[in-house]
């Protein structure tokens, strides 16, 4: 059992890395395989389309009416038939609640299809316990809902097939191997590593002798593909007339039961269980492992492709950032250089000396500074900051504070009272004093602060 637990852990770890959707078929198959490996009992699943007599066959094997049978489709859940000292039923609901009752009456409330032939959606498991010696050997029968009806029933059957050690498929001799049955053999069994199936042909007693021979020949051809690990002395196709067999068993008529083919089928099941009790269905696990490997390889390819795409995207981003860095740096240096050129003292004197002298003379320097000089400086500041902001946006960094440009205090120019004989047009002391003040102002702290 330790090797099974290790295998289960490996499978579950792989599933975790694959991140499969809960409803994906591979996820369901993996869960079923893990359940199969974890359960030490030998499960025999009986499945067939509705009205093929699978539940009747199972009741005949057990010698009593253990699972629901009727003239209309009835089984609405997967019913596990296990060993118990008395007949009783346990219903496990999806909310965890368990309902335990003696007998089988509770099945009518929880395991029978409703009037619309729908399964109950609140039932998680149905277990029937029966005191049969074959079950006491560690065998468990699984009566599955009929196929060829609603999709929900078919999905349940498909999932449960992987949990069984042996599959028994019941066929109707009157309509042997329909197209849907052949597709199910391929899609539900062979493609999933289920290559050991025992076929039971029902209703042969309703055919003429020549028809029976024809059906037997056709079935031998099909059955050969599904005896993968059966001993050579055990057949995997049996004729069992299920309803006559059940009637004979209920009456205790052993000789009548012998004529129905039931005894030969029972003997084969016992031999198969004895032969395979210590074996695991390697092919089935291998089929799922192959799917997991393919999914993992696909995941690796997908991750590799995504990683390469991310790397390419990162490299492209780096290349763009490098070019952007160069452009931003050039733009910033150009704007800063132009501002430095504008601050060059001879240029400032040439541009502003006259109007500044006049402003000083008329004692309105503050107005001139706020209305003329500062707006010009602000334009240069905005031009420089434009590149700083572009760099912040491009490289996704926090927006920096604006650069601070300090302005000097206004110069203190002391002008003597003008003589009555001197006019502004004659030139003299006043223009010289103003010129000296301008030189101090434009050649002083403004230029020094920026340079």
Report yes or no: 14 and 292 within 8 Å, Cβ to Cβ. Answer: yes
Pair 90, 238 in one domain? yes
Q: What is the pLDDT of residue 171?
A: 92
Of 116 and 290, the one with more pLDDT: 290
User: Same structural domain for residues 213 and 101?
Assistant: yes
Residue range(s) defining the domain that contains residue 184: 39-280
**The most confident of 221-230, 241-250, 266-275, 433-442, by mean pLDDT:** 241-250
Residues 155 and 62 in one domain: yes
- Let me know if residue 28 belongs to a domain: no
| 123-132 pLDDT per residue, tens | 888 999 999 9
d(CA 379, CA 338): 12
Q: Work out the mean pLDDT of the chain and round it to a whole number.
A: 80
Is a pLDDT exceeding 90 seen at residue 188?
Answer: no
Q: How many CB atoms lie within 10 A of CB 397?
A: 9
Match 């198959």 to its residue by tokens. 29
Percentage of the chain with pLDDT > 70? 80
CA 80: distance to chain centroid?
31
DSSP 319-339: HHHHHHHHHHHHHHHHHHHHH
| CATH classification of the domain holding 62 | 3.40.50.300
Is 419 within the bounds of a domain?
yes
Which of 280, 305, 333 terminates a domain? The answer is 280
Assess if residue 436 is contained within a domain.
Answer: yes
Q: How far is CA 230 from the centre of its chain?
A: 39
pLDDT at 451 over 50: no
How would you class 294 by CB atoms within 10 Å of its CB: exposed for 0-12, middle for 13-18, buried for 19 or more?
exposed
Q: Do residues 158 and 232 share a domain?
A: yes
**Cβ burial, residue 173 (10 Å; 0-12/13-18/19+):** buried
The answer to whether residue 315 sits within a structural domain is no
- Do the Cβ atoms of 113 and 76 come closer than 8 Å? yes
What gap in Å lies between CA 366 and CA 346, rounded to an integer? 22
| CA–CA gap between residue 183 and residue 190 (Å, rounded) | 10
Look at the chain and report how many structural domains it folds into. 2
Tell me which residue of 222, 231, 229, 165 sits closest to 199, measured CA to CA. Answer: 222
Could you give the CA distance from residue 153 to residue 145 in angstroms, rounded to a whole number? 6
Q: How far apart are CA 325 and CA 329, in angstroms?
A: 6
Task: Verify that 354 and 276 share a domain, yes or no.
Answer: no
Q: 226 and 350: one domain?
A: no
17 confidence band (pLDDT: 50, 70, 90)? low
pLDDT at 403 over 70: yes
Q: Kindly give the residue spans of alpha helices, DSSP state H, lying in 230-373.
A: 242-251, 254-259, 262-276, 282-342, 345-361, 365-368
In whole angstroms, give the CA distance from residue 248 to residue 97: 38
- Asked if residue 297 belongs to a domain, the reply is no
Tell whether 356 and 266 lie within a shared domain. Answer: no
332 in a domain, yes or no?
Answer: no
Supply the pLDDT for residue 220: 85
66 within domain boundaries: yes
Residues 47, 169, single domain; the answer is yes
Choose the final residue of a domain: 259, 280, 301: 280
pTM of the model: 0.56
**d(Cα 284, Cα 193) in Å, to the nearest integer?**
4
Looking at the structure, do residues 273 and 360 belong to the same domain, yes or no? no
Query: Looking at the structure, do residues 366 and 243 belong to the same domain, yes or no?
Result: no
Nearest-angstrom CA–CA distance, 56 and 324: 80
* CA–CA distances in Å: residue 372 to residues 336, 377, 444: 20, 9, 18
Say yes or no: 347 and 269 in one domain: no
**pLDDT at residue 74 is higher than 70:** no
Q: Nearest CA to 80 among 45, 110, 56? A: 45
Which of 280, 296, 315 corresponds to the end of one domain?
280
Residues 351 and 244 in one domain: no
pLDDT single digits (tens) 430-447: 444 444 445 545 554 444
Q: Can you give the pLDDT at residue 289? A: 73
Q: Is 168 part of a structural domain of the chain? A: yes
Task: Report strand pairing: 88-93 vs 197-202.
Answer: unpaired
First to last CA, the chain: 83
């Amino acid at each position: 059992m330790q090797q099974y637990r290790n295998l289960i852990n490996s499978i579950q770890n792989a599933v975790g890395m694959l991140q499969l959707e809960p409803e994906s078929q591979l996820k369901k198959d993996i869960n079923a395989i893990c359940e199969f490996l974890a359960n030490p009992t030998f499960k025999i699943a009986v499945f067939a389309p509705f009205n093929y007599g699978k539940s009747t066959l199972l009741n005949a094997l057990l010698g009593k009416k253990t699972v629901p049978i009727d003239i209309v489709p009835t089984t609405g859940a997967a019913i596990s038939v296990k060993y118990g000292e008395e007949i009783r039923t346990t219903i496990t609901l999806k909310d965890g609640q368990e309902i335990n009752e003696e007998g089988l009456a509770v099945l009518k409330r929880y395991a029978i299809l409703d009037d619309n032939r729908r399964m109950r959606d609140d039932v998680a498991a149905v277990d029937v316990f029966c005191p049969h010696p074959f079950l006491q050997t560690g065998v468990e029968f699984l009566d599955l809902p009929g196929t060829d009806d609603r999709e929900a029933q078919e999905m349940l059957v498909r999932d449960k097939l992987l949990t069984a050690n042996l599959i028994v498929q019941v066929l109707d001799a009157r309509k042997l191997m329909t197209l849907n049955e052949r597709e199910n053999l391929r899609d539900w069994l062979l493609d999933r590593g289920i290559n050991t199936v025992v076929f039971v042909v029902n209703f042969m007693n309703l055919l003429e002798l020549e028809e029976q021979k024809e059906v037997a020949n056709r079935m031998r051809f099909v059955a050969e593909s599904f005896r993968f690990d059966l001993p050579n002395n055990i057949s995997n196709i049996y004729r069992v007339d299920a309803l006559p067999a059940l009637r004979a068993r209920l009456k205790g008529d052993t000789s009548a039961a012998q004529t129905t083919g039931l005894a030969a089928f029972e003997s084969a099941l016992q031999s198969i269980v004895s032969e395979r009790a210590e074996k695991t269905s390697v092919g089935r696990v291998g089929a799922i492992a192959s799917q997991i490997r393919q999914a993992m390889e696909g995941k690796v390819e997908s991750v590799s492709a995504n990683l390469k795409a991310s790397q390419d995207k990162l490299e492209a981003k780096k290349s763009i950032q490098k070019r952007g860095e160069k452009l931003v740096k050039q733009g910033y240096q150009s704007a800063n250089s132009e501002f430095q050129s504008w601050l060059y003292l001879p240029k400032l004197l040439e541009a502003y000396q006259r109007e500044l002298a006049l402003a000083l003379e008329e004692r309105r320097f503050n107005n001139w500074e706020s209305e003329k000089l500062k707006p010009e400086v602000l334009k240069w500041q905005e031009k420089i900051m434009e590149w700083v902001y572009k760099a912040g946006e491009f490289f996704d960094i926090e927006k920096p504070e604006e650069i601070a440009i300090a302005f000097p205090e206004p110069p203190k120019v002391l002008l003597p009272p003008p003589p009555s004989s001197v006019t502004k047009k004659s030139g003299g002391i006043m223009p010289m004093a103003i010129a000296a003040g301008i030189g101090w102002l434009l050649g002083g702290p403004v230029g020094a602060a920026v340079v």
